[in-house]
Amino acid sequence: MELTLNVTDDKFKEIINKQLEAFSEEELKDICRQGILKLLSDPDTFKWLFVDKKSSYGYVDSFEASEVLKTAAKTINFDETFKEIQEDIIDYIKTNYKDLLYNLAIEAFINGFNRNFFYNNDTFLSELKTRLSQH
């Protein structure tokens, strides 16, 4: 089944305007946000908008963030995004601080002992080499 509609530009504009007026301001913002996210999810579109290609005089081309992307990156606030993760990490540390400190102390002791004994003790290493070479 095929359906063909012939609508003049004025009538089409009128229909679209009536439909847009039916949305609340918040709904329109959400529609625009979703459309922008979908548009920016295309790598070619993202690159076209936010990446500048630098000429390299016959060598491999280099790319860098455009001024628009640099400016946008400076204004992004991740507080809400990472708030839940931050709270989870704090809760984990509060709950497991004894185990964390114990493991940290053990690891620091072992690493320190290992560094001092094996890497700074030339006598031990030379004796070990001598004994190993005799067998």
Residue 5 included in any domain: no
Residue 93 included in any domain: yes
DSSP 98-128: HHHHHHHHHHHHHHHHHIIIIIS-HHHHHHH
Amino acid in position 86: Q
Range of 125's domain?
Answer: 78-135
Residue 23 included in any domain: no
Residue 105 included in any domain: yes
Residue 35 included in any domain: no
Residue 3 included in any domain: no
Question: What would the pLDDT profile of 55-79 be if each residue is shown by its tens digit?
Answer: 666 667 778 888 888 888 888 888 8
Please give the tally of structural domains in the chain. Answer: 1
Instruction: Choose between 96 and 111: higher pLDDT.
Output: 96
Which residues face 54 on adjacent strands?
A: 62
Residue 59 included in any domain: no
Residue 110 included in any domain: yes
Question: What would the pLDDT profile of 30-48 be if each residue is shown by its tens digit?
Answer: 999 999 889 888 988 888 8
pTM of the model: 0.37
Query: In sequence order, what are the residues at sequence separation of 6 or more whose Cβ sits closer than 8 angstroms to the Cβ of residue 125?
Result: 118
